[in-house]
Amino acid sequence: MTDGMYRIGIVGATTLAGKELNDELQDSLLGASEFVLLDEDEEAAGMLTAAGDEPAFIHRIDASSFEKMDFVFFVGDAAGTKKFWQQARRSGASLIDLTYALDGEKNVLVRSPLLGAGAAGGPDLKTPAVVAAHPAAVMLALVAARLKAKLSVASLAATVMEPASEHGKAAMDELHQQTVNLLSFHAVPKEQYDAQVSFNLLPTLGDAAKIDLGAIEQRIQAHYGALISAAPELALQLVQAPVFHGYAASVLVELEQAATVEQVEAALVGEWIEVVSGESDPPSNVSAAGQSKVMVRVRAVGGAAGESKRFWLWLAADNLKLGAVNAIACALELRRLRPSGKVQ
């Protein structure tokens, strides 16, 4: 067996998140592996796509799909994960859930190895699967853990802007069609959001919406708390933004002891965070696109010179990229529990 050669399944390979994960895997430490692209949808089965530079077909999931798998990423929908995860587990594969369906299952951990030394305890042989933490929770936890290691953090209050791409192609298409229809004075489609999202900011959606902002907000809050030991208090509000891609967040940090902007910036510097100085253009959905790091700008509340206890952080990150990078980090963390792969 070639070192680093594994058999890896991606369930939901045709989704936006699945395609991003597939691309990221090719450039990762798992890139020499054999990849099997899977989907429950009959229409997707047989579709020609690519795994890296090689052509690949989408395979429909059947009774033998998970045989000899080393890793299985569930990145489609929660219903599909719940339907197939036990089958994949019985095959002996290490499971990484990006659909959050396994949240709350016995011994399943919420993980983000990107936090490094700031992360809570990792998986062991009793761990049946890991949930790759929500990308917005990863953003906030990275910042909180980095600050906590160098400064005394009293609390954080964050307003997070939710992009359409976090909910897949259907949400992206509806936002696009709403924008087109509004500009041409036509009625807007509301199947996904049950509300006008285009040219709008909303803390809640319609009663018939397929997207539950309240449940997502609770998940981000819970994942944030699960990622850091003794996590600083977080007050969180999630807002649906009229953007296609990328998270942005406004975060108020309160310290127990006064510090300077330079000290806060120095505490944040490190892997997975890019500190953007005040002389540069601010982080944005556009500048974060395609970047694996969380971009952060720091300023004291009120623009105070010298020391302060309160600071504004402006964050931006590519939600699909960060989610894929974190999921791969989860797989690499699980790899140490595997004596070897199964591909001979």
139-166: pLDDT as tens digits: 999 999 999 999 999 999 999 999 999 9
Q: Stretch 161-178: mean pLDDT, rounded?
A: 97
Reported confidence tier of residue 344, pLDDT bands at 50, 70, 90: very low
**The amino acid at 21:** L
Rounded distance, CA 108 to CA 215, Å? 19
> Quick one: DSSP state of residue 187?
P
What stretch of H or E contains 19? helix 16-26
Q: Stretch 11-39: mean pLDDT, rounded?
A: 92
pLDDT, position 49: 65
Reported confidence tier of residue 5, pLDDT bands at 50, 70, 90: confident
Q: Stretch 283-299: mean pLDDT, rounded?
A: 96
Q: Whole-prediction pTM value?
A: 0.92
Rounded distance, CA 66 to CA 85, Å? 10
pLDDT tens figures, 207-240:
999 999 999 999 999 999 999 988 899 999 999 9
Burial of 164 (0-12, 13-18, 19+ CB in 10 A): buried
What the chain holds in terms of domains, given with CATH numbers, is 7-132+324-335 (3.40.50.720), 137-319 (3.30.360.10)
Rounded distance, CA 336 to CA 127, Å? 13
pLDDT, position 54: 64
What would the two tokens of residue 143 be?
């910042």
pLDDT, position 278: 83
pLDDT, position 341: 46
Rounded distance, CA 283 to CA 291, Å? 11
Give the number of other CB atoms < 10 A from CB of residue 19: 19
Burial of 257 (0-12, 13-18, 19+ CB in 10 A): exposed
Which alpha helices (DSSP H) does 64-200 contain, by range? Answer: 78-90, 135-150, 168-183
Rounded distance, CA 342 to CA 113, Å? 24
pLDDT, position 1: 37
Of 161, 162, 171, 214, which Cα lies nearest the Cα of 194? 171
